[in-house]
């Protein structure tokens, strides 16, 4: 079996123990980018950024007419409207888009608009103007940044804070992706230690001090927030259609940021539920939020306990998984206490869509045609284009979907 090839990499300078650097981007512990802090090197960095920006903005600068190739250097327009040097890492001819890594900053972006891409002239090539930006890995105990840690790193970046670098292995220099530690020159603050402290989950801190889940705040269903879909509608991702016969499906706007945030919670939920802190089941009260093992997805998901089957003492509970919209009855042994950090700030991934003009008592054939129109995959994911959305209740919206209604006639 052929393994997928590694994408082309930007040739970046090594880092040096004892060197002074400035953070230019940090998307993840393994994707941090630094440039030298020396004033002269700052001038070089600013010069190439400015020259490339002017080149990309010029009216007579040509635009690419066809997709670039992997490994090609281009000048690309970023979301801020400015142009920067970028290396093409992957290309999809089928989808007509490419993945870029911006050379001076290290951040990545998928580009579909060819008009945002310009050929890179020889004077801006990496051979003619090597980049000053190095790629390092921040040596941490946590494998991701919390929002607070990201805000802290953003401030270091925005303030161009001078940082002293050390290589824990003892080497004097290190190539790209070398694990490093950073210290704020002015205050001697250990950046890695601060990021670790900010990124350590609250539940892990409770475990470390010998606490219990019962000491944490309890959250209820009325505290769940929802993101309103646009009133003009659009393409909706459908995650549950088990109530389709009642004209209801659950989904979110395509490429919704809140849905990505909810998905990013999954490994954190898994780590918590597999920890010693969450080893014992937890029985929530009706309408209390919890974490439950989804029987169809076989993973821990956010949910709300609707009722205990058979009343108090019942062995099963009815759970609504509010990031998917589906209901399930499962043993109470598969319920865990919701931690505040999982309930706060991240809205429900989906909302309920009530389809206007859907038949009150659809036939089996109509339901089959509806599911075919939704293009529901074996994993249960489909899509629906809606043209109008109006709020019906909290988390519930009346939608107009003329193409679906026409398809089931």
Concatenated DSSP letters of 4-73 = PPPPP------EETT-EEEEEEEEETTEEEEEE-SHHHHHHHHHHHHHHHHHHH-TTS---SS---TT-E
The dihedral of CA 142, 147, 153, 157: what is its sign?
A: positive
Phi/psi at 147 (5° precision): -60, -40
Q: Record the tokens describing residue 123, joined without a space.
A: 């004077």
Instruction: Decide if 120 is inside a domain.
Output: yes
Residues 382 and 233 in one domain: yes
Question: What mean pLDDT value characterizes the chain?
Answer: 94
CA-based nearest residue to 231, from 114, 387, 361? 387
Q: What is the DSSP string of 153-181?
A: HHHHHHTT--EEEE-TT--SEE-TTEEEE
Split at pLDDT 50, 70, 90, the class of 294 is very high
- The mean per-residue pLDDT over the stretch 324-331 comes to 94
Domain count, the chain: 2
CA-based nearest residue to 205, from 216, 192, 220, 191? 216
CATH number of the domain that residue 186 is part of: 2.30.30.140
In 159-301, where does DSSP find H-type helix?
Answer: 191-199, 202-208, 257-264, 266-273
Instruction: Decide if 10 is inside a domain.
Output: no
Q: Record the tokens describing residue 357, joined without a space.
A: 């003009």
Range of the domain at 180: 15-194
Residues 173 and 284 in one domain: no
Residues 146 and 281 in one domain: no
Q: Is pLDDT at 15 greater than 80 in this prediction?
A: yes
Residues 255 and 390 in one domain: yes
Is 119 within 8 Å of 64 (Cβ atoms)? yes
Instruction: Decide if 216 is inside a domain.
Output: no
Is 311 within 8 Å of 259 (Cβ atoms)? no
**Of the residues 129, 159, 194, the one at which a domain ends:** 194
Longest CA pairwise span in the chain (Å): 76
- The mean per-residue pLDDT over the stretch 368-394 comes to 91
pTM over 0.85: no
Express each pLDDT in 117-146 by its tens digit.
Answer: 999 999 999 999 999 999 999 999 998 899
Q: Alpha-carbon dihedral of residues 163, 192, 340, 254, nearest 10 degrees?
A: 70
Residues 189 and 227 in one domain: no
242: Cβ–Cβ under 8 A, 6 or more apart, which residues? 326, 327
Q: Is pLDDT at 74 greater than 50 in this prediction?
A: yes
- The mean per-residue pLDDT over the stretch 258-267 comes to 93
Residues 238 and 331 in one domain: yes
Residues 24 and 124 in one domain: yes
| Residues 192, 196: Cα–Cα separation, whole Å | 6
Instruction: Decide if 203 is inside a domain.
Output: no
With H, G, I as helix, E, B as strand and everything else as coil, classify residue 261.
helix
Is 313 within 8 Å of 270 (Cβ atoms)? no
Q: What percentage of the chain carries pLDDT values higher than 70? A: 99
pLDDT for 331 equals 96
Q: Is pLDDT at 303 greater than 70 in this prediction?
A: yes
Instruction: Decide if 7 is inside a domain.
Output: no
Residues 254 and 389 in one domain: yes
Residues 248 and 186 in one domain: no
Is 244 within 8 Å of 343 (Cβ atoms)? no
Instruction: Decide if 307 is inside a domain.
Output: yes
Instruction: Decide if 8 is inside a domain.
Output: no
Express each pLDDT in 97-116 by its tens digit.
Answer: 999 999 999 999 999 888 99
Residues 118 and 72 in one domain: yes
Residues 381 and 257 in one domain: yes
Residues 177 and 227 in one domain: no
Instruction: Decide if 164 is inside a domain.
Output: yes
Q: Is pLDDT at 5 greater than 70 in this prediction?
A: no
pLDDT for 209 equals 94
Is 353 within 8 Å of 387 (Cβ atoms)? no
């Amino acid at each position: 079996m052929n393994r997928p090839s590694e994408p082309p990499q930007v040739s970046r300078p090594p880092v040096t123990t004892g060197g002074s650097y400035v953070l230019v981007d940090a998307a993840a512990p393994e994707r941090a980018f630094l440039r030298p802090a020396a004033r002269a090197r700052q001038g070089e960095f600013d010069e190439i950024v400015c020259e490339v920006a002017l080149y990309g903005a010029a009216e007579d600068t040509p635009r690419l007419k066809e997709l670039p190739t992997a490994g090609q250097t281009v000048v690309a327009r970023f979301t801020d409207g400015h142009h920067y040097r970028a290396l093409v890492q992957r290309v999809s001819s089928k989808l007509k888009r490419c993945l870029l890594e911006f050379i001076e900053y290290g951040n990545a972006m998928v580009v579909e608009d060819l008009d945002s891409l310009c050929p890179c002239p020889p004077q801006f090539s990496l051979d003619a103007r090597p980049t000053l930006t190095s790629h390092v890995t921040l040596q941490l105990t946590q494998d991701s940044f919390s929002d607070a840690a990201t805000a802290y790193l953003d401030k270091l970046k925005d303030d161009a804070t001078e940082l002293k670098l050390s290589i824990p292995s003892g080497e004097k220099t290190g190539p790209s992706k070398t694990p490093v530690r950073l210290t704020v020159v002015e205050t001697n603050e250990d950046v890695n230690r601060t990021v670790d402290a900010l990124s350590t989950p609250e539940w892990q801190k409770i475990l470390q001090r010998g606490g219990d889940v019962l000491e944490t705040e309890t959250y209820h269903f009325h505290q769940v927030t929802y993101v309103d879909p646009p009133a003009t509608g659009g393409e909706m991702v459908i995650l549950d259609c088990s109530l389709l016969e009642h004209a209801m499906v659950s989904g979110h706007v395509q490429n919704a940021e809140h849905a990505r945030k909810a998905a990013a919670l999954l490994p954190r939920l898994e780590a918590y539920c597999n920890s010693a802190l969450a080893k014992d089941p937890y029985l929530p009260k009706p309408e209390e939020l919890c974490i439950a093992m989804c029987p169809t997805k076989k993973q821990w998901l956010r949910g709300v306990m609707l009722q205990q089957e058979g009343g108090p003492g019942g062995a099963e509970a009815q759970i609504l998984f509010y990031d998917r919209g589906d209901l399930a009855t499962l043993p109470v042994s598969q319920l865990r206490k919701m931690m505040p950090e999982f309930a706060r700030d991240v809205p429900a991934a989906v909302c309920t869509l009530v389809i206007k003009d859907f038949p009150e008592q659809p036939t089996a054939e109509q339901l089959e045609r509806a599911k075919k129109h939704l293009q529901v995959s074996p994993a249960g994911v489909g899509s629906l284009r809606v043209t109008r959305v109006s709020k019906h209740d909290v988390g519930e919206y009346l939608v107009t979907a003329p193409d679906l209604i026409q398809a089931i006639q």
